[in-house]
Amino acid sequence: MARSTYRHGDLHRALIDAGLELARESGPDAVVLRETTRKAQVAASAAYRHFADRDALVHAVSMAAQAHLAEAIERAQAEELAKLPADADDVARSRALLRSVGAGYLGFAWAEPGWFRTAFWVHEDLRDAAARMAAGPGGKTPFQMLSHALDAMVDSGVLPEDQRRGAEVLAWSTVHGMATLTIDGPLRVIDPATRRMLAERLLLMVERGL
């Protein structure tokens, strides 16, 4: 039976977690106030104390999904950097950083398509550093991690400074296109091995083409 108060005190977080559970299964369209409050075991009216409407709830869930994406990218970065020899130079490290952002991004899309779709439901400028809810454990959003990797490419001399402007948009558009085509588009039918091979070639193309 629905309650009007939340027994653990943090209904705001509980509603976001319930929304994440729904989104993980079926994407952002599944995040509706009534079903979210049912999962949180509170009355439907209780949600309006924290979210003005469904859009506000889905926005918060979208930010939380981006935080999960950021965490996946952080793991990919740690794994990629761990493969480098101890004496790896800045060039090798900057290339690994950029490559791992793309690898983490694609890996998350394939492992968590519901969350991936939800992460990009948000209709605002993702460069906004105030979107703290979208940051991973390391404190950066996915977009900020991409920017950091590109800055490292400039610092190491791999990416000419005069080509830095707009590089996030180019790299992001390319990798996001692959992600979308392989989870919702015609490329969803390809087998995992072929998908990984194509992803590796795509990431190399991005690295060389910037």
| pTM for the whole structure | 0.90
Model pLDDT for residues 132-164, shown as the tens digit of each residue:
788 999 999 999 999 999 999 999 999 999 999
pLDDT at 45: 83
pLDDT at 124: 63
CATH number of domain containing 21: 1.10.10
- Regarding whether 120 and 45 lie in a shared domain, the answer is no
CATH number of domain containing 115: 1.10.357
- Regarding whether 195 and 149 lie in a shared domain, the answer is yes
Nearest to 209 by CA among 158, 146, 148: 158
Q: Which two tokens stand for residue 105?
A: 């991004």
Question: Which residues make beta-bridge pairs with 42?
Answer: 3
**Which residues are CB-contacts of 37 (< 8 A; sequence separation ≥ 6)?**
2, 15, 18, 43, 44, 46, 47
pLDDT at 108 over 90: yes
- Regarding whether 75 and 37 lie in a shared domain, the answer is no
Q: Which two tokens stand for residue 188?
A: 């969803």
- Regarding whether 130 and 76 lie in a shared domain, the answer is yes
Rounded Cα distance between 156 and 76, Å, is 21
The range of the structural domain enclosing residue 35 comes to 1-51
Q: Does a structural domain hold residue 21? A: yes
pLDDT at 129: 44
More confident residue, 43 or 82: 82
* CB contact burial 101-138 (16+ within 10 A = b; e otherwise): bbbbbbbbbbebbbbbbbbbbbeeebeeeebebbbbee
Confidence of residue 1 (pLDDT cuts 50, 70, 90): very low
Q: Does a structural domain hold residue 81? A: yes
Q: Does a structural domain hold residue 56? A: no
Q: Does a structural domain hold residue 19? A: yes
Count other C-beta atoms under 10 Å from residue 54's C-beta: 15
- Regarding whether 194 and 151 lie in a shared domain, the answer is yes
Q: Does a structural domain hold residue 62? A: no
- Regarding whether 36 and 89 lie in a shared domain, the answer is no
Q: Does a structural domain hold residue 58? A: no
Model pLDDT for residues 165-200, shown as the tens digit of each residue:
999 999 999 999 999 999 999 999 999 999 999 999
Q: At what angle are helices 90-111 and 167-183 packed, to 10 degrees? A: 30
- Regarding whether 75 and 35 lie in a shared domain, the answer is no
- Regarding whether 151 and 73 lie in a shared domain, the answer is yes
- Regarding whether 83 and 13 lie in a shared domain, the answer is no
- Regarding whether 76 and 150 lie in a shared domain, the answer is yes
Q: How many domains does the chain have?
A: 2
Rounded Cα distance between 32 and 95, Å, is 41
- Regarding whether 158 and 88 lie in a shared domain, the answer is yes
Q: Does a structural domain hold residue 183? A: yes
- Regarding whether 141 and 89 lie in a shared domain, the answer is yes
Q: What is the mean pLDDT of residues 91-117?
A: 97
pLDDT at 8: 52
- Provide the CB-side half-sphere exposure for 33 (13 A, CA): 15
Inter-residue contact 3 to 41 (CB < 8 Å): yes
